[in-house]
Amino acid sequence: MNSELLGKLVDKSMTRDELLHKVKQDFDLLPTIFQGVGSSKAAIRYGCAKILNDLSDASPERLYSYWDFFIELLDSKHRILIWNALAIIANLTKVDVDKKFETTFDKYYSYMNDEYMVTVANVVGHSGKIALSKPHLIERITDELLKVEEISTTPHLTEECKRVIVEKAIKSFDLFFDKIKSKEKVIHFVERHIDSPRKTLRKTAKDFLTKLSQTDH
């Protein structure tokens, strides 16, 4: 019955959202979804990963006991699964009573050195959420995000990609800037991008600094 359920994602007789709704009504279906992540069929693999991603946002406490599964998923050969794992782990920090993320920190932030922009952008983009869940890690997270200017370019991560990542870093900083001790370093970082050739990065940097000046008065 459960394999038939996943098969419906392939033949499109059931949408991913419909399956998500089913799982929310019956969490006994969770093992089937986890099984689906390992499927050789992309529709099942990525459909189930997205369902777990959505569940981690809505009901992180339901997935916390599967923490190790998501850590292992970071080593997947499929980049989309890695991206989902990065998002899910960030969501689970809200309920991380056993401080599991602290032992995962270095592995998580090692993906800042990935050759693919989307991977790096996921780490940077989810950092604000992690910082709010783990305020004692804010200085370490800040130091990691400040390194984005030094990222090496690759065929999959151009100078323009780096600007996208910097923009995400500023947006993440904005979420927890009031809790950062080393504010000057962040301010200087943002100031370096107010004349960026990327229009949205220029705007994000200027908006950040404008908001800061208004807060100071």
Mean pLDDT by 10 residues, the chain (217 residues): 83 93 94 95 96 97 97 97 98 98 98 97 98 98 97 96 98 97 96 98 98 79
**pLDDT computed for residue 2 by the predictor:** 72
**pLDDT computed for residue 160 by the predictor:** 97
Contact 5, 29 (CB under 8 A): yes
Q: Tokens 């038939």 — which residue? A: 4
**Cα–Cα distance between 172 and 20 in angstroms, integer?**
28
Per DSSP, the chain holds a count of helices (H) and strands (E) of: 13, 0
Please list the alpha-helical segments (H only) found in 26-158. Answer: 30-37, 42-58, 60-63, 67-73, 79-92, 100-109, 117-133, 138-145
**pLDDT computed for residue 4 by the predictor:** 86
Contact 95, 64 (CB under 8 A): yes
